[in-house]
Amino acid sequence: MTNSESPVLRIRNWRGTLMAALIVLLIVMALLMKWLVQFQVDAAQERRALESLAREAEARCFALASYRATEACRAAHAARTASELAVK
């Protein structure tokens, strides 16, 4: 190998290394985005399930006979929900 060929090979090697690093970075970013989207979907499904349970509990409270019983049920449910959120 002569001195005139050596810088050309170094430049090609440097460019190849840079391209490989960029491709690896793109793959890592794609996997990270996939994980992030899946995490968001799972969190949304969990939130919807919790909101559905809360709506069902509110509906049971409103099915009670008296206004006082309804308000007591709603207050108890709100206190229970607040204590569960404080634990998390």
pLDDT digits (tens, 9 = 90+) for 41-83: 999 999 999 899 889 988 888 888 888 988 888 888 888 877 7
Residue 26, token pair as written in the block? 């793109």
Q: Which pTM was predicted?
A: 0.58
How many C-beta neighbours within 10 Å does residue 70 have?
16
For the chain, domain boundaries: 6-87
Give the 3-state secondary structure percentages of the chain, helix then strand then coil, rounded to 5. 90, 0, 10
Average pLDDT taken over every residue of the chain? 85
Of 1 and 61, more confident: 61
